[in-house]
Structure 1
Amino acid sequence: MEAAWPADLPAHDERHLLAAGRSLLRADATGIGRTRRPDVFGPLKQVLAPAFAVGRFRVQAAIARRDGINGAVVHLVWAGRDRGGTFTDGRITDWHFTRTTTSKGVSTWTVRPPV
């Protein structure tokens, strides 16, 4: 992926976005951490059975790249074994982020909820 999509973000932004993207994917796939992110996953009124167990899920590759002027996308390729026991690798998930600046001039990355 690195050769096909060369790096275009500062290294510290890329590291931060990759960590955030992995965390969001883990929460989405395994359910762990969803309640801490109602801005992304919505209010969880009932406990949803996770599609993947923690030990049956892994990120195979990940990159973070620019997406427009104030945006970035974290592109993750991952593998997992679902509740039915079917293992599939090469799954793809993208998380999109927007760079915002606080009133104090601090720049942060904010995830855009999936549509």
Structure 2
Amino acid sequence: MSALPPHGEGAAGDRAIQQALDAAWPADLNAVDERQLLTAGRTLLRADATGAARDRWPTYFARQETLAPAFATARFRIQAAIARQDGAPGRAVVHLVWAGTDRGGTHTDGRITDLHFTRTTPTHKEEEPAWIPQPGT
């Protein structure tokens, strides 16, 4: 496994973090599911951290409507991400490493967030299964 970059390395260290994640947790989802989960996970984390597009996830943010976003969108960056199975068929976790500057001006990288998803079953033949984020407890 490659060595992790020191904190504060900036975007230059993101590739090493991604390589470390990939080496630590080999892929176990098909490519389509992995892409869908990574896209959803990145979008959901950005919405959670910055407040941008929270309206796309009304069920997930139902209890958090009054919370102000903690991080500035301009200084928010996802450093690395992987999507893997989460112990049972139809369950997955998106593991994200990210950086951000909070409202007080403190920038921190190497923040870790795990977002859990369950797969829906289509109710009509023409529908595709979808991955639904599970609110944290």
Q: Same fold (TM over 0.5)?
A: yes
CA offsets 1:48-96 (integer angstroms, 9 cap, x no match):
4321111110000000000022200000000001111111111001110
Equivalent residue number for residue 48 of structure 2: 28
Q: 1:36 to 1:43 in 2, by over 3 A?
A: farther
Larger strand share, 1 or 2: 1
What is the one-letter code of the residue matched to 1:76?
Answer: L
Query: How many angstroms does 1:45 deviate by?
Result: 5.5
- How many residues are matched? 114
CA offsets 1:85-109 (integer angstroms, 9 cap, x no match):
1111110011101112112253221
* Residues 35 and 43 in structure 1, CA contact (< 8 A), matched pair in contact too: no
Scaled by the length of structure 1, the TM-score of the pair is: 0.91
Scaled by the length of structure 2, the TM-score of the pair is: 0.77
* Residues 71 and 97 in structure 1, CA contact (< 8 A), matched pair in contact too: yes
Report the 3-state secondary structure (helix = DSSP H, G, I; strand = E; otherwise coil) of the residue aligned with 1:26: helix
Q: Which moved further from structure 2: 100-109 or 53-62?
A: 100-109
Structure 2: segments with no counterpart, 5+ residues:
1-20
Q: 1:54 to 1:97 in 2, by over 3 A?
A: same
Equivalent residue number for residue 73 of structure 1: 93
Equivalent residue number for residue 122 of structure 2: 102
Structure 1: segments with no counterpart, 5+ residues:
none
Q: Which one has the largest radius of gyration?
A: 2
Cα distance in 2 for partners of 1:56, 1:14 equals: 26
- Identity score, percent: 65
Equivalent residue runs for 1:57-72 within 5 Å: 57-69=76-88, 70-72=90-92
Q: 1:80 to 1:108 in 2, by over 3 A?
A: same
Cα distance in 2 for partners of 1:2, 1:36 equals: 29
